[in-house]
Amino acid sequence: MASEPEDDSSLYLTLLCWAGLLIAAAEAFIQPLPVGLGAGAMVVAYLAGGVPAARSALIELWQDRRLDIDLLMVIAALAAAAVGAALEGAVLLALFSLSQTLEHRAMGKARRAVEALMHLRPETALREGPDGVTEVPVVSLVPGDRVILRPGARVPVDGRVITGAGHMDESTVTGESLPVRKDQGALVHEATVNLDGILTVEVTRSLAHSTVAQMIRLVTEAQAMKAPSERFSDWFGQRYTIAVLAGSILAYVGFWLTGHPPDQALYRAATLLVAASPCAVVISVPAAILSALSAAARGGVLFKGGAALEGLAEVKVFAFDKTGTLTTGKAAVTGLTALKGDEAAFLTLLAGLEAQSEHPIASAIRREASNRGLAPAQIDGVRSFPSEGIIGRDPAGEVWAGNARMLDRMGATLPPALAVMADGAETLVLMGRGHHVLGAVTVADEPRATSAEALAALRRGGAAILMMTGDRQAVASRIGARLGLQPDEISAGLLPGDKVKLVDAATAKGKVAFIGDGVNDAAALARADVGVAMGVAGSEVALQAADVALMADDLRKLSAARALARRTARVIRQNLTLALGAMAVLVAGSLFFNLPLPLAVIGHEGGTLLVVLNGLRLLADPIRTSGRQNG
């Protein structure tokens, strides 16, 4: 069952084995062939069908001290030959070889679905240099280079738009088919397609660190991280293989003692060996998981391994970060009060403080400043206080910006002039020096258009929903109401540590998933049973902390991924039932009903192929953001 890289040689050996079998069968059933031809064909069938399996099984036995199931097949065929049933042994080897070839091709198909992304990378790019635009190999691009993207061109490496605007087809990365508008400053991802517009893009990542490389690394690492049920089938396969071998020897002795002639006893023991081999059990779980991981990746959802997939299927509570996750994270400044009167000076200073923050609030403030044509002030030594705000210094001394908690930290009090602003249902950002408050802005963020639908789909699937935010209660309630959340599903005013505590508390109800954007919530992402990072096309930090990554900013991907995870769990259950059931029937048949060897072989290989094909159904079942979601 060792999965060799599939190549054509295994196909040729299978064909050779079948040719040998057919000639040998013609001799046996139709008419005698010229001397030695039938016997020669039989030897060819045995060698072509048995040697590859025997070779890899013996290497595995020698090097890893593992007993490979393939060895059981070879032993059974040899036993059949020894008692004069050579043709039946050849049938065994031919069917075994065929099913191995098909199985390897099928599994390879699942594996290659992600690697196909590699071929989407262009080979060359148009680099803008001191002496004009030249075509250069993509590997030679380094951060800071500028490349020109014409309509229809694929983005060669991750970058940021410097001039121009247009629409991108990002479906290769996010699984999202609608074009996405990109303006100046927007990030563009490797392997996505520029639909219209002529863009100049500054390279932000080299090829080795760009989106596709990240996705492939994640998925290949994922394949190494086994799911619990996968570990079970490995463990089971190993113990069980030894047991089957021992059991068959015992059965041989048993048949012999109960009066069977030695030849017949050996034949029946060989039949039992085939009937009881757990090939189907061992392949049933990886076939399903590998297919599901590939299908998910093509839909823009990366699972870090089968464990994450199985975990998501079992999640009972979904806890969401608000800002940037349930909401767009593209907040806008809605109000501004400068207590000393000069709005421009106030905003210049505030934008300078926020220049170094990754928080969605900070980018809203920077945008407002740039819309008003203001350049941010130079602020040094900026320190960030998660869920509070930031502190830095300019020539006049220390300045700060943040919420009521920051106000307390600075020993300041809310000036009466700001009371009206502070009562609203928008996020308030205060700025001050020491205990003097200089003014405030309000920032409003809206739920994503897709969030409510995604929450509803998760609810229909039987999950509980929680919203956790560091923002104020009034803001949380306003957003929560728009998303159809009940008051008891909302927790506001949280510090990052509080989110971790709430995640812990929620585990009383079952497995918990935390969904965040990685800003101020990496701890909760890591603590939850399943951490889901969203909108991470390109963000390495969030990818590290999470078990599941949604490449697109669309929570419907989460409900679709959960539905896929549940379908996978169902297919695994079907497969294990089928595999164990078929095995039980075949074993009973060979022990008590004198089942002929060829029938045992057909039942055994047929069962194995059936579970592989059943697992492969998941491959054709990619994640969509419409249609069936509440699986």
Active site positions, annotated: 321
Q: Which is nearer to Mg ion, 42 or 537 (CB)?
A: 537
- State the residues that interact with ligand ADP by CB under 6 A: 321-324, 354, 357, 359, 361-362, 387-390, 401-403, 427, 429, 469-471, 519-520
Residues pairing with 511 in the sheet: 315
* DSSP code, position 154: B
Least gap, CB of 544 to ligand ADP (angstroms): 19
Short-list 423, 439, 442, CA closest to 431: 439
Q: Does 554 bind Mg ion (CB under 5 A)?
A: no
On the 0-12 / 13-18 / 19+ scale of CB atoms within 10 A, 535 is buried
Q: Which is nearer to ligand ADP, 299 or 360 (CB)?
A: 360
How far is Cα 617 from Cα 631, in angstroms, rounded to an integer?
Answer: 16
Q: How far apart are the first and last CA of the chain?
A: 32
- Which of Mg ion, ligand ADP, none lies near 403, with the C-beta cut-off 5 to 8 A by kind? ligand ADP
Phi, psi of 266 (to 5 degrees): -70, -40
Contacting range for Mg ion; rule: CB under 5 A; set: 39-47, 451-459, 514-522, 525-533:
514-522
Using Cβ positions, the residue closest to Mg ion within the complex turns out to be 323
What minimum distance in Å lies between the beta carbon of 546 and Mg ion? 14
SS3 389: strand
- Which residue, 107 or 365, has its beta carbon nearer to ligand ADP? 365
Per CB under 5 A, 321 contacts Mg ion: yes
User: What is the rounded CA–CA span in Å between residue 292 and residue 235?
Assistant: 22
SS3 per-residue string spanning 585-623: HHHHHHHHCCCCHHHHHHHHHHHHHHHHHHHHHHHHCCC
622 touches which of Mg ion, ligand ADP, none (CB within 5 to 8 A by kind)?
none
Question: What's the closest the beta carbon of residue 56 comes to ligand ADP, in angstroms?
Answer: 52
Q: Tell me if 268 sits within 8 A of 251, measured CB to CB.
A: yes
Least distance to ligand ADP, CB of residue 196, Å: 34
The residue among 321 and 388 lying less far from Mg ion, judged by its C-beta, is 321
Contact partner at residue 45 from Mg ion, ligand ADP, none, CB < 5 to 8 Å by partner kind: none
Cα-to-chain-centroid distance, residue 43: 46
| Residues 140-169, mask of contacts with Mg ion (x by CB under 5 A) | ------------------------------
Residue linked to tokens 């789909």: 457
Partner interacting with residue 357 (select from ligand ADP, Mg ion, none; CB below 5-8 Å by kind): ligand ADP
CB-wise, 122 or 415, nearer to ligand ADP? Answer: 415
Cβ-proximal residues to 216 (8 Å cutoff; 6+ apart), any chain: 114, 115, 117, 118
- For 328, list phi and psi in degrees, rounded to 5: -70, -25
DSSP 576: H
* Residue number with CB closer to ligand ADP (503 or 616): 503
Nearer to ligand ADP, 485 or 600 (CB): 485
Find out whether 322 and 476 touch, Cβ atoms under 8 Å. Answer: yes
Which whole-number Å values give the CA distances from 243 to 72, 254, 278, 486, 575, in the listed order? 11, 16, 11, 56, 22
Instruction: Assess 607 for contact with Mg ion (CB under 5 A).
Output: no
Q: Which of the choices ligand ADP, Mg ion, none does residue 174 contact, using the CB cut-off of 5 to 8 A by kind?
A: none
Residue 76 near residue 92, CB atoms below 8 Å? yes
Residue 390 near which of ligand ADP, Mg ion, none (CB within 5-8 Å, type-dependent): ligand ADP
Q: Is residue 327 within the footprint of Mg ion (CB under 5 A)?
A: no
Residue 291 interacting partner from Mg ion, ligand ADP, none (CB closer than 5 to 8 Å by kind): none
* Residue 267 CB neighbour total at 10 angstroms: 25
Question: With CB cut-offs between 5 and 8 Å by kind, which of ligand ADP, Mg ion, none does residue 171 bind?
Answer: none
Give the largest CA-CA distance in the chain. Answer: 110
Indicate whether 70 belongs to the interface with Mg ion (CB under 5 A): no
Q: Which is nearer to ligand ADP, 4 or 380 (CB)?
A: 380
Give the nearest distance from C-beta 325 to ligand ADP in angstroms.
7
Site string for Mg ion, 474-513 (x = CB under 5 A): ----------------------------------------
Burial class (CB in 10 A: 0-12, 13-18, 19+), 208: exposed
Out of 247, 324, 392, 531, which residue is the one contacting Mg ion (CB under 5 A)? 324
**Which residues of this protein are in contact with Mg ion, per CB under 5 A?**
321, 323-324, 519
